[in-house]
Amino acid sequence: MFNETFAAELARRIGSFVEVTTDNNLIEGILTTVTPELVLVIEVTSGYGDNVKMYISIDAINFVRFPTAVV
């Protein structure tokens, strides 16, 4: 049940900059897709390279943060 609530909350924030931690990774990027099982974060690089798509299992996520810029 928690996974469903967690996925629903993440889906409300699609398009936001996000930091996602797993047991051995920190992924930073734009939250683009959320399904009941997976989250897609696109890591945005500066410059002219391709952006990296990171598919993360909902079960593997330990922590999610939505940083905001301080003005």
Please enumerate in sequence order all residues whose Cβ is within 8 A of that of 66, keeping only pairs 6 or more positions apart, or say none.
Answer: 13, 16, 17, 18, 19
**CATH for 2-65, options being 1.25.40.10, 3.40.50.2300, 2.30.30.100, 3.40.50.970:** 2.30.30.100
Give domain limits for the chain.
2-65
- Answer whether residue 1 shows pLDDT above 90: no
pLDDT digits (tens, 9 = 90+) for 27-71: 999 999 999 999 999 988 776 777 899 999 999 999 999 998 665
How confident is the model at residue 44, as a pLDDT? Answer: 81
Please enumerate in sequence order all residues whose Cβ is within 8 A of that of 67, keeping only pairs 6 or more positions apart, or say none.
Answer: 17, 19
How confident is the model at residue 17, as a pLDDT? Answer: 95
Q: Decide: 43 and 52 in contact? Cβ < 8 Å.
A: yes
How confident is the model at residue 11, as a pLDDT? Answer: 96
What's the mean pLDDT in 9-21? 96
